[in-house]
C-alpha cells in the first residue's frame, strides 16, 4: 500500500491499481447492497423489486436489465457517476496520480526551455546578420565620403579616420562570415563577439 501511494500510473494502470485495493465486496458493502445467500441482490441500475442482479467473484450482472460490471462500475452506479469519474474519485481516495512521473515532466520542461532558447538565439543571429549588413553598408559609405579620391590620402586626418573605418569594416566582415557559417557554435561565438565589440546593441 505504501509503495502504491503517490506512484504514477497510466489510465489503465490506475484502474488495475484501484481494483487491487478496492474489491467488489468493498464496493457492494459501501453501496449498501445486500447480497442474498443465492448470490443475488437488488439491481443498482434499474428499479428492481426482486433481486435480479447476480453477484460473482469480481463482477455483477443483472439478468433483468442486462447491466453490471466490476467494483468501479458498482461504485459509479451507487454514486450516480460515470465510470471515468468513479475512477478519478477512487484514484484520489487511494492517492494515485495519473500522468507522467515528475522526472519525465521535468525533462520535458527542460527540452521546451532549450528549444525556446535555440529559437530565440536563431532569431538573434538573424537579426545580428541583417544589422551588420546594414552597418557594413553604412561604413563603406563613410569610407567613400572620407576618402572621395586618392588625393585625400594626403590629408592626415582623413587617412586616420579612414584607417579606423577600415578596421571596423574588417571586424564586421569577419563577424558576418561567422554568422553566415553552417555551424551553430560558430554562429553563437560570432554573436557573442559582435556584442562584445559593440558592433550590435
d(CA 190, CA 77): 67
Q: Does 43 bind Zn ion (CB under 5 A)?
A: yes
Nearest to 28 by CA among 41, 14, 46: 41
Contacts of 98 (CB under 8 A, 6+ apart): 8, 9, 10, 11, 14, 91
Number of residues in contact with Zn ion under rule CB under 5 A: 6
In the bound state with Zn ion, the residue whose beta carbon lies nearer, of 72 and 175, is 72
φ, ψ for residue 3, nearest 5 deg: -60, -35
Q: Select the residue interacting with Zn ion from 4, 21, 65, 169 (CB under 5 A).
A: 65
d(CA 145, CA 136): 14
Q: Does 190 bind Zn ion (CB under 5 A)?
A: no
φ, ψ for residue 187, nearest 5 deg: -65, -45
In the bound state with Zn ion, the residue whose beta carbon lies nearer, of 64 and 152, is 64
CB of 110 to Zn ion, least distance (A): 52
* Helical axes 184-196 vs 156-179, angle rounded to 10°: 150
CB of 2 to Zn ion, least distance (A): 39
> Using CB under 5 A, which of the segments 56-64, 72-80, 105-113, 115-123 binds Zn ion?
56-64
Q: Does 46 bind Zn ion (CB under 5 A)?
A: yes
> Using CB under 5 A, which of the segments 37-45, 122-130, 131-139, 153-161 binds Zn ion?
37-45
In the bound state with Zn ion, the residue whose beta carbon lies nearer, of 64 and 133, is 64
Amino acid at each position: 500500500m505504501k509503495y502504491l501511494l503517490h506512484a504514477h500510473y497510466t489510465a489503465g494502470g490506475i484502474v488495475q491499481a484501484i481494483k487491487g485495493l478496492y474489491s467488489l465486496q468493498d464496493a457492494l458493502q459501501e453501496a449498501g447492497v445486500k447480497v442474498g445467500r443465492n448470490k443475488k441482490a437488488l439491481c443498482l441500475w434499474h428499479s428492481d423489486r426482486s433481486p435480479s442482479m447476480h453477484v460473482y467473484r469480481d463482477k455483477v450482472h443483472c439478468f433483468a436489465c442486462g447491466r453490471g460490471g466490476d467494483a468501479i462500475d458498482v461504485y459509479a452506479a451507487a454514486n450516480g457517476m460515470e465510470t471515468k469519474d468513479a475512477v478519478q474519485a477512487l484514484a484520489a481516495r487511494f492517492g494515485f496520480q495519473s500522468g507522467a512521473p515528475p522526472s519525465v515532466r521535468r525533462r520535458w520542461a527542460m527540452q521546451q526551455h532549450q528549444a525556446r532558447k535555440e529559437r530565440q538565439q536563431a532569431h538573434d543571429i538573424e537579426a545580428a546578420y541583417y544589422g551588420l549588413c546594414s552597418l557594413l553598408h553604412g561604413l563603406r559609405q563613410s569610407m567613400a565620403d572620407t576618402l572621395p579620391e586618392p588625393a585625400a590620402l594626403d590629408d592626415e586626418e582623413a587617412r586616420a579616420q579612414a584607417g579606423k573605418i577600415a578596421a571596423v569594416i574588417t571586424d564586421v566582415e569577419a563577424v558576418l562570415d561567422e554568422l553566415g557559417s553552417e555551424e551553430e557554435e560558430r554562429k553563437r561565438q560570432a554573436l557573442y563577439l559582435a556584442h562584445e565589440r559593440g558592433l550590435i546593441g
